[in-house]
Amino acid sequence: MIMDKDIEKIVASEAKIEEVCTNLGKRITEDYQGKDLVLIGLLNGCNPFFSDLLKHIDLKVQVDYMRASSYHGTIKSSREVKILKDLDMSIAKKHVIIVDDIIDTGRTVNCIKEVLSLKGALSIEACVLLDKAEAREEAFDAKYVGLTIPTEFVVGYGLDYQEYYRNLPYVGVLKEEVYKK
């Protein structure tokens, strides 16, 4: 791909991502047998992971989306979380899993969890492809984590830099010269 030249190294290959989706889907299937489950994807980055994860969950589930932002086009969190799109369905008396591509500072997922708890969910957990635990500024542990990665700026498989690179089929570290221009 033309964008490959901007990638310093790959941190999650297509094969590794498929393995992660399979394993997380099996765990969710086991944990939510007989429960009314809603998966809430956090747009835009969740799309590839959310779609692939769903294929491996063998349950009746409902799906909805929210959109929140804390990066606003930069490589670091602004520490201000904005809700740009709220849910279209009720989650009252349902079990909820927030699905996102990555958790780093913990601010966005904590904000979303707080909003969802006010909507009457029975339980709220998180499922993320990537966890940058070293970058955590607010306490938050996702129940379902695909891979823990170091604090490097990654793109691909839904993750972006200024809305580019989301379509890479893997996750890679973006070369510093690309975002220092």
Contact 11, 171 (CB under 8 A): yes
CA distance 69 to 73: 9
Contact 124, 117 (CB under 8 A): yes
The pairing of beta strand 154-155 with beta strand 171-174:
antiparallel
Q: Is 101 a catalytic residue?
A: no
Q: Phi-psi bin for 27: left (phi > 0), alpha (psi -120 to 50), beta?
A: alpha
> Containing H/E element for 101?
strand 95-103
- Does residue 112 sit in helix, strand or coil? helix
Which of the following is catalytic: 6, 52, 100, 104? 104
Positions marked active-site: 104
